[in-house]
Structure 1
Amino acid sequence: MKLLSKHIERDSSGTVTLVPEEGEDMWHTYNLLCAGDQLKASTVRRIVSESSTGSTDKSSVRIQLTVSVEDVYFDTQAAVLRVNGRNIVENKHVKLGAYHTIDLELNRPYTLGKQEWDIISLERIENACDVSKRADIAAVVLQEGFANVCLVTENMTVVRQRIETNIPRKRRGTTTDHDKGLNRFYDQIMQAVIRHVDFTIVKALLIASPGFVKDNFYKYLMENAIKMNSKVLLENKSKIVLVHCSSGHKHALAEILQEPAIQTRLSDTKYACELRTLENFYKMLFNEPAKAFYGVRHVLKAAERNAIASLMITDGLFRSANVTERKKYINLVETVRAAGGNVLIFSSLHTSGEQLTQLTGVAAILHFPLPDIEEEVEIEEEAERRAAQGVLGPRPEDDDVEEDLTISLGS
């Protein structure tokens, strides 16, 4: 991402002009856009003109249009970003208030205006424009007859190609059909690697599978690289790492990236740090549950007491259409940082982010145990349930306590 200009006023309103240079920049833009924002960009509009004779002519023109954002759609596989909204600046081709969908394009600038630029959005721009923070990893996750060729960046895990083929079983006395099927399968994977993996960028190419499938594919890959005299594969042989995993599905990436050998190679990346912190959280939740909490209520209470050592939160929570809800999470981040805690914003397009989403999207490791938080939250939730049901007064157990006290005083 390239930053062309930034104008932020004292009240936090303002505009930034950015140029998306690669697919991941579209993901950053998707996270920046909120309903009510103003987006100015180059777009194509279909125009219908009518001649004096009554005949109509259809044509397409490229124009600069500014819309008030209403809906945003992002295709993770194609890295396509579409923004729908009403035109708010007069244009001879588009009436004020008319709807238009802008397809943002790579290497074409856009200007984004907000009533309030929060710290999360500004940090995302800063990180997106910092080339040094790139850390791409390529991975082939496979099992016999099934493979995923993936690209893992700081913010996304994208399946570049899924390969599925039927491999004939071995027959008694002959393995010819089976071997031919395997070779066709391996060749498809090899072609996908050549097509999708840019070795000038990636730190490593991970080849992972259950059993010996990875070893057999690696042997096929190197033998054919020599036959084809593929300099790309031969010169980057040192970047290829073989790893064991449980299956050829995308979710196996999480276990692959937690391997000590892989962690060593990727120790300085954001994604590796997220995985380590999440693993530490699970261990703490099992061994010392009073020092590990998930769920908004629990984590907010821990933050109020300046108890959070590490806060984990998914980027999806900052995309909430509810402004109050969004500000709640921004305030949480600022509170934890002000108290000296570490904040990790997980990408919902990573397996680690998917795991955190299953834990409500927010979790924390504490400096010290707070066993009373669980009871406090239970009391609050019970009071809310009773209020929603129209039940007034103390909880049943509180009635029992009062009755016991009356009997005791009476005797």
Structure 2
Amino acid sequence: MKNEYQSNGRREEKRREEKRREERKTTRAGYLPLSSYLHISLINHIIFLLKPNPTMKLLEKDFAVNQTGSAKIVAEEPDDVWVLYNLILPGDVVSADTSRKIHLDSSSKHHAASRVKLTLHLKVTTRDFHKDSSTLRLHGRNLHHNQHVAAGSFHTLTLEPNKPFHLCKKLWQNDAVQALNEKTASQPSNSNPSNSPPDLAVVLFHQHHAEIHLVGQGATARCIKVEPTKKTASGSAFFRQVFSALVKHVDFNVVKSVVMSSEEFRRFVWSEARRLRKRWLEENKTRMVVVPTGGHEGDLGKVLGDPAVTDLVKDVKVGAFRELWEMVCNDSGRACYGSAEVERAREVRAIETLLICDELYRNDEVGTRLRYEGLVKSVKEGGGKAFVYSSMHVSAPQLAQLTGVAAILRFPLPLLHHP
């Protein structure tokens, strides 16, 4: 009897080990669409999707449009420093803590020196943005005398992430107020959408594997890739493997719909829900949509562009790119792409909607960045719309193929291609 118990225990332990091995294979994480070489674990990817969007902090606010005022600000990420470069102008007064090396005894041959902390109040004369270190160097005259720095002497302050400072302006122009409000809001209107919760899940079947994608407002990420094993090579066994991944990684309390590329798999899901008595799945049958595909690369873009899915995704950027693409394919004359053509369309105020990749809009080269920021600003001032596509957006690779900048026009410009 004892040997029988031991034998049963060994068999049970073996079954548990096989189950754990199978789960490890099933939950093997995939990679982000933005690079086929960027592999991250599933848990890190979910943390990335759900963490709060970092924004610049406005600790104190005492200003209004077209009035004198001040603000206490803390940059939290490198891109915030670029905003400060555009916000702080010559003539502004910036106060921040810094340190200086002070010689203590000038009578001795061996000059003793010490680094002391102090606060400088600089009236800015020039500023330099350093992209490599993501710092902003402000040059100007010190306004207030202290023990170590005389008033009127020239000094430099360096602003960087997580370093608070005070900014005083004689006149807060509307552009400056708007830029600061957008960047410091809890949910900025032009914030990176990659942190938004997913609107839907997409289950794509390829020839030798399946993928589950999560689609949010402006961001799309593949959360898992399911490959058949020797034991699950048959159709129903592989469907069961994908079904397990779907149940494990898709929260129906968050996503609004599930799009599948296989009608057969949808029927299998319904059948499994009944068999396993997963009532919550049965109650969500109407939220499962089928959009058949051919199983080739790029199917996700086709799925999201399908009329049956467009209304499910609360992402105007998908609709904007779809409209642009249709115009390009139909050669309607109401679409253009490429820096030179878009610029000529802007000159005649013909741009209704501007589409631009994040790589251009936030380019590391200062001149390029200023150029495209000016383009976006000009389009908005002319009553047009401007959409910046992050590298994680499903339409970003296709927009990049159109040089990364394109526009939908208010009226046809057939001669635009022939300056």
Q: TM-score under structure 1 normalisation?
A: 0.58
Whole-Å separation in 2 of the counterparts to 1:334 and 1:133: 25
Q: Unaligned regions of 5+ residues in structure 1, if any? A: 19-28, 38-67, 72-83, 89-109, 168-176, 209-213, 377-411
Partner residue in 2 for 1:235? 283
- Aligned to 2:218, what secondary structure does the other structure show? coil
RCO higher in structure (CA 8 A, sep ≥6): 2
Q: Is the 2:193–2:218 contact (alpha carbons within 8 Å) kept by the matching residues of 1?
A: no
Deviation at 1:70, TM superposition (A): 6.7
Deviation at 1:342, TM superposition (A): 1.6
Matched, 1:304 2:356: no
Q: Is the 1:135–1:153 contact (alpha carbons within 8 Å) kept by the matching residues of 2?
A: yes
Matched, 1:191 2:239: no
Partner residue in 1 for 2:308? 261
Q: Is the 2:56–2:184 contact (alpha carbons within 8 Å) kept by the matching residues of 1?
A: no
Partner residue in 2 for 1:354? 397
Matched, 1:152 2:215: yes
Partner residue in 1 for 2:147? none
Q: Is the 1:206–1:243 contact (alpha carbons within 8 Å) kept by the matching residues of 2?
A: yes
**RMSD value, Cα:** 4.1
Deviation at 1:253, TM superposition (A): 1.4
Partner residue in 1 for 2:253? 200
Q: Report the residue type matching 1:226 in the other structure.
A: R
1:186–1:14 Cα change, 3 Å = farther
- Aligned to 1:348, what secondary structure does the other structure show? coil
Q: Is the 1:35–1:70 contact (alpha carbons within 8 Å) kept by the matching residues of 2?
A: no
Partner residue in 1 for 2:58? 6
Partner residue in 2 for 1:381? none
Deviation at 1:332, TM superposition (A): 0.6
Whole-Å separation in 2 of the counterparts to 1:184 and 1:30: 48
1:357-372 maps to which residues of 2 (within 5 A)?
Answer: 357-372=400-415
Q: Is the 1:119–1:330 contact (alpha carbons within 8 Å) kept by the matching residues of 2?
A: no
Matched, 1:122 2:180: no
Whole-Å separation in 1 of the counterparts to 2:295 and 2:263: 15
Deviation at 1:349, TM superposition (A): 1.3
Whole-Å separation in 1 of the counterparts to 2:364 and 2:183: 18
1:228–1:144 Cα change, 3 Å = farther
Q: Is the 1:258–1:276 contact (alpha carbons within 8 Å) kept by the matching residues of 2?
A: yes
Matched, 1:252 2:306: no
Whole-Å separation in 2 of the counterparts to 1:141 and 1:259: 14
Whole-Å separation in 1 of the counterparts to 2:327 and 2:350: 15
Q: How many residues are matched?
A: 282
- Aligned to 2:295, what secondary structure does the other structure show? coil
Deviation at 1:310, TM superposition (A): 1.2
Q: Is the 2:219–2:394 contact (alpha carbons within 8 Å) kept by the matching residues of 1?
A: no
Q: TM-score under structure 2 normalisation?
A: 0.57
Q: Unaligned regions of 5+ residues in structure 2, if any? A: 1-51, 86-128, 138-160, 168-175
What CA deviation, in whole Å up to 9, does each residue of 1:126-151 have, x standing for no partner? 14599997552101001354111110
Whole-Å separation in 2 of the counterparts to 1:235 and 1:227: 14
